[in-house]
Copies of this chain bind each other. A is one copy, B any other.
Amino acid sequence: MITKVASDVGRIFLLVCLVFSVPPCSTTFRLTSPWGWRCINETCVKQENDGVRSLADLSTCKLTCGQDSTIWPSPTGFLKIAPQTVHFLLESLTLRGITAPTDQVKELVEKAFHIFRDNVGKNIPEGGGKATVMGPFHKQVTSHRVFVAVTVTGRVTRLSLETSEAYTLGITTRGDVTNATVLAGDFFGARHALETLSQLIEYDELAGVLQIVSTAAVVDAPVYKYRGILLDTSRNFFSVRAIERTLDAMAASKLNTLHWHITDTHSFPLYLESLPRMAFFGAYSPREIYRAADVRHLVEYGRVRGVRVLPEFPAPAHAGNGWQWAQKQGLGKLGVCLNQEPWQSYCVEPPCGQLNIINNNTYNILAQIYKELLDIFSPLDLFHFGGSKVNLNCWNTTEEIVAHLEKEGHGRDHESFYRLWGSFQKSALDLLTQANQGKQIPGILWTSQLTEKDRIESHLDPQQYIIQILTNRTDKMIKSLLTKGYRVIFSNQDAWNLGCGFGNLSPSGKSWCINYKGWQAVYDNSPNNISATLTGSSHRNLILGGEAVLWSHHVDDTTLDSKLWPRGAALAERLWTNPDTNWEAAETRFVHHRQRLVRRGIMAQRVQPEWCRQNEGHCYL
């Protein structure tokens, strides 16, 4: 039902139609369009093709029209693009050479180049771009050859908070040869450079061929080190293919952290070789399980795309299904309040569940889990302990825990329970460090009762822990965290909770997650500005970055892409570029980037009628 545009045939018909006007061309209407675009004052303006002035395809026009071309996120250093493009065939896009300090780095660059080349190919629509480039009336036009050369100076092959990710990219054209040159201090920078290069290439529907900017210079590096997306595989399961697509889209937007909230009270979808009962009892079904090979595959899939896959293993709250086998095996209760009713008394949403933190076997099992996580996610530069809200009433109504407190001579006041929690967290950190051969890994914790102003310093060392902010931007806890010197990651839910707006998140969740966060709100959420408002300082050194969270109450494979994208890309530019301007200045590029994601197979949501995309600036408020 969609008419194919055969590039050469289409061009000829278009010319004939333009010359002879409409009637004699009635049989070819479906192959052509009277519209084209011209760059006027940095805006691509839609005009009727009169056959005299040459008009461009919208994508080609945008490549060289306006300051930032169509690069998303916008580069932070230097960007200069000549207003010319040259055409080329996919076959003539070649890797000229890689200069790298080690074979490992070289191999990574090779893989990244293949991904880059695939992405360039995805611009070509079905039936397009396969013909030799033709000029008017079948005069053949020579296609340019495009060579890419990559130089990486550093040996880093795993992302960390120290990785620079910076790069420079140059494009020059001489005669029929276009050279693209990438220079980066680490592989991750080089990968980003290739992503930028792919965004300086478009397929031109009118010409029926790929176009690349003829001359460009880009110097670029991210503002924030941590740029993440949270995926929750416990409330609903996602296929490995869906997670791959998430990584693809993250790479397209230069996000660098997939925070994998693996388990929760709902289900335990991870198959651990050393503890097979966890998934046996905890998975929703035998089809909804990740094996070690799946995890290793995703970690590597992410790495070559510049994304670390960071595991979260929530404890001591948000742990339930999967832990119920232990009692039968003589280990006592490892989880308490599991699926307990009425749930409102024991947790924030059904099903309930918290770890039994006074049972030594809980720690033995946790040690095994950490060991296996370190193995399959290896090597980790960060680990997420979870640590969000504990329900004190759960512990306070568990005989074993109450008896323990009594035996130890402690009361049953709140602080006694928080001390218990704090001591659990200390043990958890020790177990992780042991599992990592004694090398400490920075741990991330959610904001909770434990991170409150008067409590945090007794339990959490700012050198060891990073705090992820889940509250609203106005929360005073943000101020106390920053003034006490804690490093933070922003996920303030008033802007960066992508699961909101589809009904209640949990039966009790009526009040806090009603409104959908439009891409504009996601884009305009600036951690630095929030910090400046609350503390009077931007605290650039303490704010590591931010993350959009997607709790999966209303999401599985069917809507994962559209919940995350293109809004995740709005987050990406906030964190990579951190522009002084708001969404309005970015809208055209954003809409273009959304089209790019769709071309790459990501089911990103539309954000406006196509008319608005084709008529830039006319859908104003």
Contacts and interface: CB of A to CB of B under 8 A. Distances in A.
A91 interface: no
Contact of A32 (B286, B502, B610): B286
A237 interface: yes
Given A507-B621, A603-B559, A276 B608 contact: no
Contacts of A503: 516, 518-520, 607
Q: Tell me which of A30, A515, A606, A620 has the highest count of chain B C-beta atoms within 10 A of its own C-beta.
A: A606
B283 A33 contact: yes
Given A516-B501, A558-B603, A611-B351, A287 B5 contact: yes
B606 A554 contact: yes
B235 A2 contact: no
Interface string A602-614: 0111111111101
Given A559-B562, A620-B507, A614 B284 contact: yes
- Copies of this chain: 2
A125 interface: yes
A19 interface: no
Interface string A34-71: 10000000000000000000000000000000000000
Contacts of A555: 605-606
A286 B351 contact: no
Contacts of A515: 514
B351 A31 contact: no
A149 interface: no
A291 interface: yes
A8 interface: no
Contact of A611 (B350, B558, B621): B350
Interface string A267-310: 10001000011011101111111110110010000000000000
A365 to B, nearest CB: 15
B267 A321 contact: no
Contacts of A283: 33
A563 B22 CA distance: 39
A511 interface: no
A137 interface: no
Nearest to A351: B611
B561 A609 contact: no
B33 A286 contact: yes
Given A30-B271, A279-B29, A554 B286 contact: no
3 A-B pairs closest in CB distance: A1-B240, A503-B518, A235-B609
Given A125-B287, A236-B610, A266-B609, 8 more contacts: A1-B239, A236-B606, A267-B611, A350-B620, A502-B605, A508-B621, A559-B605, A562-B562
